[in-house]
A and B are shown apart, each in its own frame.
Chain A
């Protein structure tokens, strides 16, 4: 987001390259420790793995609230949260993080309100994917196909983005012994082996460890920044005259107005946390309805701690310590070596790698589940047995990772704009979900037409093919397209008939009795 010329991430500053090469044994030792913990968690998860489809996809709906919360945090955070977000604060100021956290202040109640409903109907009707719920409620394979397309777009993009970032981190941590290309391949192999042998349970356990590690590392990073600056106030006062721009709305760019902070923040975080296929499946995986309030509270608490005292401090203090030409995505890594001892800085890079692994395995897992179940089983091979579906799931995971590696090595420049766009695409499932679990007036006609129109609008706004009445940062058309989606969804629903009464009873009746 910075307008100044930037240095390519591959070109590490010479002094940092020298520091890493001098301390290479320590760096490799820390990486090796993480790999040992990773293998241990995989082994532990493997012991409780029942090799059934339900266990593979939704962990037999048995995740306790701590595990469920941290797996969501680790999945959502990703390499973007560890490296990209501090870089964005470095470029545009704290107003960006205010947008994300105000978004979570809306998303957490949405997780509590909608998540419980998704859990109740998912448990009763054995739903395992977004397509199971929406396709069944609206009795339409078109609607089911929307969820597959959203999953393909969302997960493929993020898997490629994570492999790219992971390849770079491995290259840095190993002082170039592992090349970027080899790093991408190694990461893909590790994730594939972990996923195919442990399923959702392995992901959840690994995410719990990674989520805790990330939280401690980002919090610790904040403490070291305060010590380095000479006090909390100095972190901000060191900005001098630029302080106002970096610590108030609408920020340095003037784009983050209170309206944008609230509306775009809410849409982005709901899209990323609740409506992303990985988030959706985690709603099914929680062990009890009563725990959704705890899960939602934990997400807000942990992310507030991470984003305020970690991410924001890194971005803001980076403005003081690092020169203007720094690539924003490298700010957190470079600052780590400036303010922390080498061992902790290397551990921070391992933390970024952990976030990348968590996101990659979650997204590959859910992509395989949606493609196998909502596309191949639904449209091509309806008689597929559960055992064969499980095998198919693993084959799709391998194919996904191969495609991810190809994407990371060939089409890397397309990823950042795509990653933002696909979140906006996922948001377009919100009215459909709301209709299926909270608003019985919703009709199938509305579920088919409204999100399709909204997604086309999103594309047209993105490529500036039609005028956009309310341009927003990150994805210019997210607000207008989503409003159009809701207006069309409600309008068409009122002009057409709702779902059959027996279907309503299976969803809204069930929810009414159980909650």
Chain B
């Protein structure tokens, strides 16, 4: 049986050698959207805590349902903003162009 643990035999750097640009998010737009989605998650939690506990119907639907629908709409709006703002870089276009939209 072939078994490889190659990581044991390679030179690994000190953590200080990790390039600064290899961060969780290097682009400002992406950082902004991560903050936005963190916000929608907080809204979802607060909505469940303070509104989702109320036994009340609005237009026939329970408020907890409206809360969930609202959170989904906020997420979709965020993703729509991501899509409309994103400009695919040349390299990514190159990566994807051989198959892009071929089977849509």
Contact = CB atoms under 8 A, between A and B. Distances in A.
Interface stretch (A30-38, A350-358, A376-384): A376-384
Nearest to A286: B96
A64 to B, nearest CB: 2
Contact of B99 (A60, A232, A247): A60
Contacts, number: 228
Contact of A109 (B2, B18, B75, B96): B75
B79 A297 contact: yes
Contact of B10 (A139, A204, A380, A494): A139
13 contacts: A62-B99, A105-B41, A105-B71, A120-B92, A231-B60, A261-B52, A287-B96, A290-B96, A312-B65, A380-B1, A497-B15, A498-B13, A512-B26
Interface stretch (A96-104, A158-166, A475-483): A96-104
Contacts of B60: 231-236
Nearest to A443: B12
Interface residues of A, number: 87
Given A308-B69, A501-B17, A140 B103 contact: no
Contact of B103 (A95, A287, A301, A504): A287
A331 interface: no
B83 A294 contact: yes
A249 B7 contact: no
B13 to A, nearest CB: 5
A236 B62 contact: yes
A48 B5 CA distance: 39
Contacts of B28: none
Interface stretch (A3-11, A76-84, A336-344, A434-442): A434-442
A304 B5 contact: no
Interface centre among B55, B59, B79 (most CB of A within 10 A): B79
A515 B104 contact: no
B92 A102 contact: no
Interface in B14-36: 14-15, 17-19, 21-22, 24-27, 30, 33-34
Given A108-B75, A508-B22, A141 B4 contact: yes
A108 B3 contact: no
Interface centre among A102, A237, A304, A508 (most CB of B within 10 A): A102
**Shortest Cβ-Cβ A-B pairs, 6 listed:** A64-B104, A232-B60, A233-B60, A247-B62, A62-B99, A497-B12
B83 A497 contact: no
Interface of B: 1-7, 10-15, 17-19, 21-22, 24-27, 30, 33-34, 37, 40-41, 44-45, 48-49, 52-55, 57, 59-62, 64-65, 67-69, 71-72, 74-76, 78-80, 82-83, 86, 88-89, 91-92, 95-96, 99-104
A59 interface: yes
Interface centre among A59, A66, A98, A296 (most CB of B within 10 A): A98
A206 B96 CA distance: 24
A142 B8 CA distance: 12
A297 B99 contact: no
A501 B22 CA distance: 11
A258 interface: yes
A498 B104 contact: no
Given A249-B52, A262-B45, A102 B71 contact: yes
Contacts of B82: 112, 293
Nearest to B94: A514
A452 B49 CA distance: 34
A243 interface: yes
B12 A515 contact: no
A123 interface: yes
A297 B80 contact: yes
Interface of A: 48, 59-67, 94-95, 97-98, 101-102, 104-106, 108-109, 112-113, 120, 123-124, 138-142, 201, 204, 231-237, 243-244, 247-250, 258-259, 261-262, 266, 287-290, 293-294, 296-297, 300-301, 304, 308, 312, 378-380, 382, 438-441, 443-444, 494, 497-501, 504, 508-509, 512-515
Given A94-B65, A248-B53, A304-B69, A497 B13 contact: yes
Interface centre among A104, A105, A243, A444 (most CB of B within 10 A): A105
Contact of A441 (B18, B55, B59, B83): B18
Nearest to B21: A512
B59 A232 contact: yes
A66 B30 CA distance: 23
Contacts of A243: 55
Nearest to A235: B60
A145 to B, nearest CB: 9
Contacts of B30: 113, 515
Contacts of B44: 102, 105-106, 262
Nearest to B99: A62
Contacts of A294: 79, 83
B6 A139 contact: yes
Given A102-B44, A378-B2, A514-B95, 7 more contacts: A48-B103, A248-B62, A287-B100, A287-B103, A288-B100, A297-B79, A304-B68
Nearest to B3: A141
Contacts of A500: 10-13
B64 A249 contact: yes
Contact of A287 (B15, B75, B83, B99): B99
